[in-house]
Chains A and B, each alone.
Chain A
């Protein structure tokens, strides 16, 4: 009896500290990686400005949230930010369409090498980063409201009588639910609608798509709008779950790219799988397993925290996974493009 309770405690601790956070983080990464992979599939370059696009989208959403909050609008237990999301997406879409019109289109017409487009996206990154800092500053911004927890650790302990508690933040559930809805909608769009099919055709074979009368500018514009949606949602969810700080979005670039490449650049399913793979590896490798080890192997009393790598090295995890995949399977797990 005692033994099985220990194992149950270990399981709950595992869920609380590893599975739940990793699922939330994985959903955020997956949404980000989807944006990167779509741009790669349609526009054929790695968009270094994606992290800052997420920051911009989140910032626009936050500004509208604050405005709504000042009007006294609220969604009850849900965060007001959800109501502000469409406005944030619209603002980001406008910005992305404007950058496409003013910057990227020129290089597209010239058929510039992908690496030139990457450098161009670096310039856009500077501008967006500057814009975000200019408008909202560099500090932490909190904008979450509504219910904080679906279930707190204490409630869980009282309910089950276990030693370990399982806390589920409302934002975690929200992240997962929103991510599932967004991904379902995206796949429905890509697979079932005429526009979505034309996008996939364009991604598979540009010349053939042009011959069959697909309007490339329209495909590109729709891609930017979808990317704006994905980036804004990912950025806002990340900001709700943790907190909004412009600099962290730039740092998300590495895990997001790792997720997209590991899954196979240009492959949406791969982006989602890659996002979760990276998130789970990051969390499991940087988690201190001492507590769980204590339940599972009571006889073993480790000196340290039983942590494989300190949390500060979480970038190293996505990096190592990336390198392993690149070395052994350069097109990614799900066979993306390799142009």
Chain B
């Protein structure tokens, strides 16, 4: 298992050169912004690559797992809303427990009782009755919680019991990243339990569905994370620009470099994020590489390449699939939590499947499915293109329409639509890579 050839390294160097070029031509702020989201995209691609590249599982619910990670970031790092907890927090928790108990009981009835009409009737009766009990406990509690100060909270808040002072870094936030991963893993367990073992496109439809449901839940359950009212001001694990600008030592030092403190502070903050994200990415990459090279990784690829013979060799195909599905989704959740921390806000309406599911797929396919370095390269490169296609498209359209007279309807229309060039471009890139280089930029070795 060779890790990298000189060609691969050259491609990574080329990518770095692209970023440096952007920094020199446009601005370092833009370049670092691309790098930070590029690192997060690389982690998402790593997660999808585990599922698709190692095991051949087709997950098109990446968006849902990313969003759950974001939810995890919010419920861990925001301070709790005491009033809301006393208004109905306990009841909500109780209602959720009832809901879980009902489902567990139904599963128990189904698996323990003998086949027959009685079993079906009992299970359905249990579920229906349980649903009404759950709603009877849940609904008033939600109404009570959402009535508490709806303009600024109206939700239960999070688990950050000792928030740090305003405009200072809060390292508790870092705890939220693994929690986001765990949330995503939990959802993946549920989906995997039901949909794995069916044909590949059924898993695709099931994951597509679960992602939409997760987003619908995040938009509507205001008591949880304020729904479409958004959570803003999520604490950060890095210093704030404003406190850097007020720090005489920092101002003096950057003045020494001849940079104005405002720009320097925002670059410094972005660099802090870059450091954190890079550490996470390198850690994950190391783990993923060692897993792939281990007997476990060989088994995974054996299962992917021929399920029947792997099963004949005594491998638990369904169990391994469930395992890798959960692991990959957890990595996506981790990336989602990191993204919410980077943005400093959770906006459920901004989760679009084209951006968060299908774009990640483009990254994996272009980078090279089955190869972790490929996924990382693809994540970076496609994110770079996603950001850059828009100005380039504007430039292109500007060139095409330059000859037309101002106010001509076609010119106006083309200029307006230039923003949609990126979807076209991404589709084209995906199709071209699939056709002419189906193994991607860094193929599996």
Contact = CB atoms under 8 A, between A and B. Distances in A.
B428 A127 contact: yes
Contacts of B2: none
A125 interface: yes
A323 interface: yes
A120 interface: yes
B79 interface: no
A261 B205 contact: yes
A322 B209 contact: yes
A189 interface: no
A127 B423 contact: yes
B371 to A, nearest CB: 17
B195 A323 contact: yes
Interface residues of A, number: 49
Interface stretch (B38-46, B159-167, B260-268, B430-438): B430-438
B216 A313 contact: yes
A338 B198 CA distance: 9
Contacts of A318: 209
Interface stretch (A19-27, A131-139, A168-176, A191-199): A131-139
B416 interface: yes
B209 A312 contact: no
B434 A119 contact: yes
B199 A338 contact: yes
B423 A130 contact: yes
B352 to A, nearest CB: 8
B421 A114 contact: no
B201 A114 contact: yes
A211 interface: no
A157 B201 CA distance: 49
A102 to B, nearest CB: 9
In this complex, which of B202, B205, B423, B434 has the most chain A Cβ atoms within 10 angstroms of its Cβ? B205
Interface in B187-205: 194-195, 198-202, 204-205
Interface stretch (B6-14, B279-287, B322-330, B353-361): B353-361
Interface string A33-71: 000000000000110100000000000000000000000
A129 B354 contact: yes
Given A115-B201, A250-B353, A258-B205, A312 B216 contact: yes
A131 B205 contact: no
Contacts of A253: 208
B212 interface: yes
Interface residues of B, number: 46
B436 to A, nearest CB: 10
A17 to B, nearest CB: 21
A126 B194 CA distance: 29
Nearest to B194: A323
Given A126-B427, A134-B421, A326-B202, A120 B209 contact: no
Contacts of A126: 354, 358, 362, 423-424, 426-427, 430
Interface centre among A118, A123, A137, A250 (most CB of B within 10 A): A123
Contacts of B209: 254, 258, 315, 318-319, 322
B206 interface: yes
B223 interface: no
A316 interface: yes
Contact of B213 (A304, A310, A313): A313
Given A258-B205, A315-B209, A323-B206, A131 B199 contact: no
A127 B216 CA distance: 26
Nearest to A247: B352
A330 interface: yes
Contacts, number: 130
B383 to A, nearest CB: 16
Contacts of A312: 216, 219-220
A318 B206 CA distance: 10
B417 interface: yes
Nearest to A113: B200
A318 B58 CA distance: 20
B31 interface: no
Given A118-B58, A126-B430, A339-B199, A133 B210 contact: no
Contacts of A103: 431, 435
A106 B195 CA distance: 30
A285 B422 CA distance: 38
A256 B195 CA distance: 18
A89 interface: no
A251 interface: yes
B430 A118 contact: no
A122 B48 CA distance: 15
B220 A124 contact: no
Which of A137, A308, A319 is packed against the most chain B CB atoms within 10 Å?
A: A319
B298 interface: no
Nearest to A323: B194
Contacts of B195: 323, 326
A184 interface: no
A322 B209 CA distance: 9
B353 A130 contact: no
Nearest to B228: A312
A327 interface: yes
Contacts of A119: 58, 361, 365, 430, 434
A150 interface: no
Contacts of B139: 304
Interface in A296-339: 304, 308, 310, 312-313, 315-316, 318-319, 322-323, 326-327, 330, 338-339
A130 B435 contact: no
Given A126-B354, A316-B216, A330-B198, A46 B427 contact: no
Nearest to B433: A123
A124 B358 CA distance: 12
B220 A319 contact: no
A129 B426 CA distance: 11
Contacts of B217: 313
Contacts of A137: 416-417
A126 B417 CA distance: 15
B212 A254 contact: yes
A115 B220 contact: no
Interface in B45-81: 56, 58, 60
Given A115-B200, A313-B220, A316-B216, A127 B206 contact: no
A116 interface: yes
Contacts of A261: 202, 205
22 contacts: A116-B434, A123-B427, A123-B428, A123-B431, A126-B358, A126-B423, A126-B427, A127-B424, A127-B427, A130-B422, A138-B420, A250-B354, A254-B205, A312-B219, A315-B212, A315-B213, A316-B213, A319-B206, A319-B209, A319-B210, A322-B205, A326-B194
Given A125-B427, A323-B195, 5 more contacts: A118-B58, A130-B426, A134-B421, A319-B209, A326-B202
Interface of A: 45-46, 48, 103, 106, 114-116, 118-120, 122-131, 133-135, 137-138, 250-251, 253-254, 257-258, 261, 304, 308, 310, 312-313, 315-316, 318-319, 322-323, 326-327, 330, 338-339
List the 5 shortest-distance A-B pairs measured between CB atoms, nearest first: A126-B427, A130-B423, A130-B424, A127-B427, A319-B209
